[in-house]
Structure 1
Amino acid sequence: MEIVSTFEAIEKPYKNAVITIGNFDGVHIGHQALFRTVIDKAEAIHGTAVAMTFDPHPLRVLSPNSHPPMITMPEQKAELIAKTGMEVLIRIPFTREFAAISARDFVERLLMERIGMRAMVVGNDYAFGRNREGNLALLQQWSEELGFDVLVVDWVHTANGMKDRISSTQIREQVMAGDMTAAKRMLGRHYQIRGVVATGRNRGGRLLGFPTANILIQDELCPKEGIYAVTVEHDGQTFPGVANIGYSPTFDDHLFTIEVHLLDFDRNIYNDPIRVNFIQRLRDEIKFDSLDELTARIRQDVVQARQILSGMQ
């Protein structure tokens, strides 16, 4: 998949570009439905399947104190979009100047003239342009005037019969509630965070007999505090593990950490990037009266995690 970082980098319009535009945070099942429609339309008109997204998230520019945590950081988002079969990802820097472009200029000058748009795929609540002045009715009006197609994709609803549509907001709520099964249903995969293994407080292996990898994350969405069965991707391999998110109340040092104990693993991976897939939340964090009690409970967590993870194979 070709990745373009500015409009200026587009040297000539794409052939019969079919485009969908959005933040696509999470690249969830609803987003995937948009991409499938784009790809099908592009194949029908011998065109190019194009996705446009923004970095940073527009709310981080327009409302910096109220922006949501990210489900997928830019690198992962690009990887997931590429897996859908899209041909081009245009990742535009979002600025206040860009936000000031009128809806008409956005469609005519950027989408049609610069990108070569011949069709646009949108959800039924799509809005765009300065102050979100462009809406679906206006887009359909301009499509007749300017000569492009508009395809509207219905919302995809949650798989458990709820009336709510799948959305990034719904996924954030489930992840923050620790319901990784519900999050997976909407994402189409396990929720994942990525980070670099940092030097921790040197007590997991030394005091408890369970060495942990301490992860530094950026500002992506963090699951609810507690203990989780996880899988960990490192250097092309996947390992089972148990993760602890929170403040380790038994030690009473009030430091928030994300610590992962990889099962049957004894490598030094400090400063290495890893990916942690959250499979199931096991329990809340608990303050134990002694390290022996904590160690015994961790052993139980490991047994439970092994059972859950073995059932995935």
Structure 2
Amino acid sequence: MHITRHLADLPADARGGAVAIGNFDGVHRGHAKIAERLVARAREIEGPAVVFTFDPHPVRVLRPHEYPPPLTWTERKAELLTKLGVDHVVAYPTDEALLRLTTREFFDLVLRESMAAKALVEGPNFFFGHNREGDVALLGKFAAEAGMSLDVVEPNSEGGELVSSSRIRRLIGETGDVGRALTMLTAPYRIRGIVTHGAGRGAKIGFPTANLEGIDTILPAEGVYAGVGRLVGRDGPMGVWPAAINIGPNPTFGEVHAKVEAHLIGCDETVYGRPVEVDFLDRLRDIRTFASADELVEQVKKDVAATQTIVTKNY
């Protein structure tokens, strides 16, 4: 996985290839279609397949009050793109100077001079330059003048609707339908956080949980989910377990504050203070109040059994 933050640091083997520009948030199946064409064009011209993306999303700089939580952090995005065959990811630090560039300035400075692109691949709804004044028609005009090719890839549809990051964000954040979202993503939806000390009630009833804080992507809607949790070290995963995940309060014990708790099934390691990533496979049920701790325990046993079945089947 190769990530470049500044064009001045772009290595020689990331220049002279095929380039796709976009946010690629979530790296869904529509993005995969673009990546497939990008890689094919790169191989045809015997150059690298490069994705130019933005960190953060331009909306966060222009209209921070409208900025939605992302689906992926930069390293995760690059990891997913690499699995699709992309050779290099440029995660450009979005600032006002970049956003002030005219369409011609952006094309000349970024694509022609810095990246020495020979081929471009975009979706039909691509816009670039100050105030998003440039579209694929203008990009095609600039590309033809510079001797570059431009492939425009039609978007994917699912259930009669276009596959998009905003649609997936609604499914996850508003309804918690991570299973439906998974049909549109190229990998299960993942969050990351640091394990902190909680009330310790899970351990007392036989189901210790990792309480996650510092999550920087969108949270699924309140509910109980089946997924996979992994401890993460400097060099990658240090352990992977099925996980029953609770998002929301624990009303049985009078809690009103929402939190994220993952019971890592079979994990006996100390996880406090350590980073954990959680993949979501399916939604099991709503949050509800139980008449007693014993009734809660019986339900958690069912959640754990359902999680193990789902993970075995799908992961």
Q: Percent identity?
A: 37
Q: Structure 1, residues 261-309: CA drift from partner, whole Å, max 9, x if none?
A: 1222222111122221111111111112322222222122222223333
Residue aligned with 1:71, SS: coil
The structural deviation recorded for 1:15 is 4.5
Q: 1:305 is matched with which residue?
A: 307
Q: 1:44 is matched with which residue?
A: 44
Counterpart amino acid of 1:197? V
Counterpart amino acid of 1:212? T
Q: Structure 1, residues 54-85: CA drift from partner, whole Å, max 9, x if none?
A: 11111111110111111111121111112222
Contact 2:179 2:283 in 1 (8 A): no
Aligned counterparts of 1:265 and 1:16: Cα–Cα separation in 2: 47
Q: Would you say how many aligned residue pairs link Structure 1 and Structure 2?
A: 309
Specify whether residues 232 and 45 from structure 1 end up closer, same or farther in structure 2 by C-alpha distance, changes over 3 A only: same
Structure 2 residue runs without a partner (length 5+)? 232-236
Contact 1:13 1:115 in 2 (8 A): no
Out of 298, 303, 312, which is 1:296 matched to? 298
Aligned counterparts of 2:143 and 2:227: Cα–Cα separation in 1: 47
Q: 2:214 is matched with which residue?
A: 217
The structural deviation recorded for 1:22 is 0.5
Q: 1:244 is matched with which residue?
A: 246
Q: 2:193 is matched with which residue?
A: 195
Q: 1:233 is matched with which residue?
A: 230
Residue aligned with 1:250, SS: helix
The structural deviation recorded for 1:46 is 1.2
The structural deviation recorded for 1:239 is 1.1
1:272 aligns with 2:243: no
The structural deviation recorded for 1:134 is 0.7
Contact 2:191 2:278 in 1 (8 A): yes
The structural deviation recorded for 1:13 is 8.5
The structural deviation recorded for 1:11 is 6.4
The structural deviation recorded for 1:26 is 0.5
The structural deviation recorded for 1:99 is 0.3
Q: 2:257 is matched with which residue?
A: 255
Aligned counterparts of 1:11 and 1:294: Cα–Cα separation in 2: 56
Aligned counterparts of 1:11 and 1:243: Cα–Cα separation in 2: 42
Counterpart amino acid of 1:229? A
Q: 2:136 is matched with which residue?
A: 136
Q: How does 1:150-229 map to 2 (within 5 A)?
A: 150-158=150-158, 162-176=159-173, 177-206=175-204, 208-229=205-226
**TM-score normalised to the size of structure 2?**
0.93
The alignment's C-alpha RMSD in Å is 1.7
Counterpart amino acid of 1:211? P
Q: How does 1:2-81 map to 2 (within 5 A)?
A: 2-10=2-10, 14-81=14-81
The structural deviation recorded for 1:100 is 0.3
Residue aligned with 1:241, SS: strand
Specify whether residues 236 and 285 from structure 1 end up closer, same or farther in structure 2 by C-alpha distance, changes over 3 A only: same
**TM-score normalised to the size of structure 1?**
0.94
Q: Structure 1, residues 18-65: CA drift from partner, whole Å, max 9, x if none?
A: 100001100111111111111111111111211100111111111101
